């Protein structure tokens, strides 16, 4: 059994064989990737903050239902466009991030209204902390995405289930 084989169409050989650099295009760098990841995170936070603000103004989770629906369906469509038309990703990825933020803000409003223990703030805080720590560890070279590391992460992820 090959652990690195995937039926995911975005990870197919066709995608990676056409991933060479063409003349006049940017070369992917670690710094550029990190900057774009931070930009996408900022857009997700912006979208989530918008729906979160609507929820707190009305204290009614139903007030963000439409935004959550638009964010969920629109984010899914934008993610599919990004996955299957990589040349459109400079436009579809930020749109996807904003729409996903709308969805996350809406679903967070529902959880905040159901559980009064600050579960949403804890989840957001822990997620952002892990994101920044992993980005820092990867940037500093503390961890490297080798084949062995990928197998360990996949095994640990499978063990969680």
Residue 36 lies in a domain: yes
Segment 77-116, tens digit of pLDDT: 999 998 888 889 899 999 999 999 999 999 988 888 888 7
Residue 13 within a domain: no
Residue 24 lies in a domain: no
Do the domain assignments include residue 6? no
Query: Structural domain tally of the chain?
Result: 1
Task: Please tell me the distance from the alpha carbon of residue 129 to that of residue 152, in angstroms, as a whole number.
Answer: 22
Q: Decide if 68 is inside a domain.
A: yes
Is 4 within a domain? no
Per DSSP, helices labelled H in the chain are 13-17, 30-58, 65-84, 89-114, 119-140, 147-160
Angstrom distance (rounded) from CA 115 to CA 117: 6
CB-based contacts of 59, cutoff 8 Å, min separation 6: 113
Which structural domain, as residue segments, surrounds residue 111? 30-160
Per-residue pLDDT reduced to its tens digit, 108-160? 888 888 887 688 888 888 988 998 898 888 888 888 878 888 888 888 888 88
14 belongs to a structural domain = no
Residue 7: inside a domain, yes or no?
no
């Amino acid at each position: 059994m090959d652990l690195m084989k995937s039926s995911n169409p975005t990870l197919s050989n066709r995608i990676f064989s056409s991933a060479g650099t063409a003349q006049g295009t940017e070369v992917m760098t670690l710094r550029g990737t990190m900057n774009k990841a931070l930009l996408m995170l900022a857009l997700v936070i912006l979208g989530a903050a918008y729906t979160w603000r609507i929820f707190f103004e009305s204290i009614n989770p139903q007030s963000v239902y439409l935004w959550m629906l638009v964010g969920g369906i629109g984010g899914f469509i934008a993610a599919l466009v990004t996955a299957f038309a990589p040349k459109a990703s400079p436009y579809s990825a930020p749109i996807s991030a904003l729409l996903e933020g709308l969805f996350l803000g809406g679903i967070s409003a529902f959880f905040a209204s159901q559980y009064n223990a600050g579960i949403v703030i804890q989840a957001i805080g822990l997620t952002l902390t892990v994101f920044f720590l992993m980005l820092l560890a990867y940037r500093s070279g503390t961890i490297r995405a080798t084949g062995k590391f990928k197998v360990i992460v996949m095994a640990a992820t499978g063990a969680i289930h």
